[in-house]
Amino acid sequence: MEGTIEKSKNNLLSEVDLYLFHEGTQYKAYNMMGAHLDKIEGVEGVRFTVWAPNALSVSVVGDFNHWEGSGHQMERIHQSGIWVLFIAGLSEGELYKYRVRTPDNQIVLKADPYAFYSEVRPNTASIVYSLNKYQWQDQKWMKHRGKKQALDKPMLIYEVHLGSWRKKTDGSFYTYRELAGELIEHVLSNGYTHIEFMPIMEHPFDRSWGYQITGYYSVTSRFGKPEDFMYLIDQCHQNGLGVILDWVPVHFCKDEHGLGKFDGTPLYEPIDPLRAERPHWGTYSFDYEKPEVNSFLVSNALFWLDLFHIDGLRVDAVSSMIYLNHDQSSPVPIKNKNGGDENLEAVRFTKRLNETVYKYHPDIHMIAEEATPWPKVTAPTTQEGLGFSYKWNMGWVNDVLRYIRLEENERPDHHHLLTFSFFYAFSEHFILPFSHDEMVYGKRSLLNKMPGEYWKKFANLRLLYGYLMTHPGKKLLFMGSEFAQFDEWKDERELDWNLLDFESHQNFLHYSRTLNQFYKNTRSLWRLDHDPNGFEWINPHDSNQGVISFMRKGKRKGDYCVVVCNFSSRVFHSYRIGVPSLGGYIEMFNSDKTEFGGSGQCNENAIQSEKLPYNNQLFSMEITVPPLGITIFMKQTKKRGRQVNASD
């Protein structure tokens, strides 16, 4: 059994740290709490610190004391509710838990809320671990990250669930280091700018996908060690890829070793069971009113940014945070002190979170998954906003997927589903996400949502992706979408990579790669993503023929492209559209090319515009519009030259 060393408990933690922690402003709490290798009076060991204000006693137990609680009793720091203990002789790799005696004299074994590493599930012990081993090589990326991630730069995100992207032949997981080779190569070859990882914090149940967490500071051991995950991020950065991490500050799972009723009482969750329970998910909500919970969560956000060089956090379920009754099934609605539905404490927490994160890391992104009309989600907190940099545009996703699933004869009556988003497209900084949520639980894959026979499914999907890439806002696609996964996502098995044995899926992968590169190379598609000056309708009203046309514009005069989307299976020859200037126009992109699996209805030569006003433009031209296709034109220049049609 390892020994303790006599030292005043009050000297293990500073009064300033204690004050800030209980004030809710200790934003580096991971340096204070948890298990840390330390040296006291020349003796090496481990300092343990845990918050359990209502516990009668707390002990540190592990293999080193045969999981007996009597030998290593922690000391309570006066009235703070924080317990500390230094155990001499312990080193990295020790398994441990906290043995908590609750107010009703029950014993529970709890994992460390601040543990840096944990046992591989189904085991649940925390592991003493140092995060100082890894030598980062991403200095160039970190130095220029702010410019690469500016609002006027392209952003094309590949969303990944590490447990099911690929699996080994025996069904086991790829490790972080193994994924650093194959995954990064795949993402780069397909033209993405960022990878977004679904939560990789420690969680007990594989099929929660990481959204029900027990170890907020512990990268899951399923795929390797913390330094292995650092290596994966480092390799992304060295290859020019940003890394976004899903983060879940709204709720946590009820597993006995986790945060729930940590000291035998509601601690991280509210005391009021109506506010604590999340029946929809079977979880507990965080209590944002407690300052110590604020310190825990804000520190956790900074932990991933500070130590793992994460470039952005996608904050899960923001709507469930800021509304008291969102996703709740209580027969009696919960009300705040003013009689409203807003969770006032959660709103204050959210603003403080974003203010603090940007104070330390102004070059990263905080991204809200928020699905309601809450105003100013991406406005600064100084302007009464929530302070996020981006918001997922779930309204657009719901509308466009509802439309694209309709049979062709039904589409004219629902044309507004294509155009309504432009009434609010610039009210926030939006990301357009075709995420995992759209492809599970019987919702079908994107390809299998498409109506009609096989060729129409692929044509519709090419058109949908084209519309995604030309609509204002940044982009996100879930893994497998790049090769038109046919079945919905199955989280227990790898993607259906065997589909690439078939020509139709090979062609689609070629299409998505080409489209992604075109998007990145075409400045007018992203330079003014969040500015109304970056968009202009040509014709939003051609519902009978299922065609919409518009312009995307860049910052420089004359930097624009003309986009025409045809949501019917008819080919339109000599289709007239208005354009802003006289001269030749070249078709730069067409989803109906035969190399993509299309029918080849293209505009091969440059088209001369005429001095004939149309669609509120001074000039116009006649084009061929492909079936279930998107075609994009740009003004002819010396660099962008092609023969003009002889008939023009």
If pLDDT is split at 50, 70 and 90, which confidence band does 328 have? Answer: confident
Closest CA relative to residue 411, chosen from 472, 468, 351, 456: 456
Q: Which long-range contacts (CB under 8 A, 24 or more apart) does 497-502 make?
A: 497/166
If asked whether residues 112 and 230 sit together in one domain, one would say no
Stated pTM of the model? 0.96
Q: Which of 358, 377, 396 is the last residue of a domain?
A: 377
Mean pLDDT of 629-647: 74
| Domain interval for residue 337 | 204-377
Q: Is 627 within 8 Å of 459 (Cβ atoms)?
A: yes
The pLDDT tens digits of the residues spanning 463-520 come to 999 999 999 999 999 999 999 999 999 999 999 999 999 999 999 999 999 999 999 9
What is the pLDDT at residue 8? 45
Is residue 29 situated within a structural domain?
Answer: yes
Which tokens hold the place of 397?
């996703």
Q: What is the dihedral of CA 331, 337, 341, 342, to 10 degrees?
A: -140
Closest CA relative to residue 391, chosen from 418, 365, 358, 359: 365
To the query of whether residue 494 is one of the catalytic residues in this protein, the response is no
Mean pLDDT of 178-191: 97
Tracing tokens 């330079």 back to the chain, one arrives at 527
Is residue 382 situated within a structural domain?
Answer: no
Mean pLDDT value across the chain: 95
Separation CA 574–CA 580 (nearest Å): 18
The pLDDT tens digits of the residues spanning 386-435 come to 999 999 999 999 999 999 999 999 999 999 999 999 999 999 999 999 99
What is the pLDDT at residue 12? 79
SS3 251: strand
Separation CA 247–CA 250 (nearest Å): 9
The pLDDT tens digits of the residues spanning 110-166 come to 999 999 999 999 999 999 999 999 999 999 999 999 999 999 999 999 999 999 999
Which tokens hold the place of 340?
């409203």
What is the pLDDT at residue 441? 87
Closest CA relative to residue 515, chosen from 241, 192, 242: 192
Q: How many domains does the chain have?
A: 3
Cα atoms found within 13 Å of the Cα of residue 483, Cβ hemisphere only: 19
Separation CA 568–CA 572 (nearest Å): 10
The CA distances from residue 202 to 198, 261, 388, 488, in Å, are: 12, 18, 25, 26
Is residue 258 situated within a structural domain?
Answer: yes
Is residue 431 situated within a structural domain?
Answer: no
If asked whether residues 244 and 366 sit together in one domain, one would say yes
If asked whether residues 244 and 118 sit together in one domain, one would say no
Is residue 355 situated within a structural domain?
Answer: yes
If asked whether residues 231 and 92 sit together in one domain, one would say no
Separation CA 357–CA 217 (nearest Å): 16
What is the pLDDT at residue 6? 40
Separation CA 186–CA 480 (nearest Å): 11
Strand partners of residue 478: 159
What is the pLDDT at residue 10? 47
Catalytic residue among 202, 227, 316, 482: 316
Q: Which of 127, 145, 176 is the last residue of a domain?
A: 127
SS3 310: coil
Is residue 510 situated within a structural domain?
Answer: no
If asked whether residues 220 and 351 sit together in one domain, one would say yes
For residue 494, give the amino acid letter. E
Out of 452-456, 573-577, 639-643, pick the least confident: 639-643
Residue 39 contacts by C-beta under 8 Å, 6 or more apart in sequence? 45
Is residue 600 situated within a structural domain?
Answer: yes
Q: Which of 127, 158, 178 is the last residue of a domain?
A: 127
Separation CA 259–CA 269 (nearest Å): 8
If asked whether residues 226 and 90 sit together in one domain, one would say no
If asked whether residues 231 and 341 sit together in one domain, one would say yes
If asked whether residues 213 and 313 sit together in one domain, one would say yes
Q: Is 221 within 8 Å of 119 (Cβ atoms)?
A: yes
If pLDDT is split at 50, 70 and 90, which confidence band does 71 have? Answer: confident
What is the pLDDT at residue 1? 42
Closest CA relative to residue 432, chosen from 390, 402, 404, 403: 390
To the query of whether residue 369 is one of the catalytic residues in this protein, the response is yes
Cα–Cα–Cα angle for 182, 187, 191, rounded to 5 degrees: 145
Which tokens hold the place of 500?
């690439």
The CA distances from residue 74 to 48, 51, 61, 526, in Å, are: 8, 11, 11, 56
Q: Is 284 within 8 Å of 251 (Cβ atoms)?
A: yes
If asked whether residues 224 and 370 sit together in one domain, one would say yes
If pLDDT is split at 50, 70 and 90, which confidence band does 534 have? Answer: very high
What is the pLDDT at residue 330? 72
The yes-or-no verdict on residue 373 having pLDDT over 60 is yes
What is the pLDDT at residue 640? 72
If asked whether residues 250 and 366 sit together in one domain, one would say yes
DSSP letters spanning 472-538: SSEEEEETTGGGT--SPP-TTS---GGGGGSHHHHHHHHHHHHHHHHHHH-GGGTTTTTSGGGEEEE
CATH classification of the domain holding 610: 2.60.40.1180
If asked whether residues 256 and 361 sit together in one domain, one would say yes
What is the pLDDT at residue 3? 52
Separation CA 610–CA 592 (nearest Å): 26
CATH classification of the domain holding 322: 3.20.20.80
What is the pLDDT at residue 11? 62
The yes-or-no verdict on residue 444 having pLDDT over 80 is yes
Q: Is 567 within 8 Å of 411 (Cβ atoms)?
A: yes
**Exposure string over 206-229, b if 16+ CB within 10 A, otherwise e:** eebbbbbbbbbbbbbbbbbbbbbb
The pLDDT tens digits of the residues spanning 86-97 come to 999 999 999 999
CATH classification of the domain holding 63: 2.60.40.10
Catalytic residue among 227, 277, 369, 438: 369
If asked whether residues 214 and 300 sit together in one domain, one would say yes
Separation CA 540–CA 592 (nearest Å): 21
Is residue 481 situated within a structural domain?
Answer: no
Closest CA relative to residue 470, chosen from 545, 408, 407, 400: 400
DSSP letters spanning 64-108: GGTT-SSSSBPEE-TTS-EEEEEEET--TT-EEEEEEE-TTS-EE
Out of 13-17, 312-316, 601-605, 623-627, pick the least confident: 13-17
Residue 289 contacts by C-beta under 8 Å, 6 or more apart in sequence? 270, 345
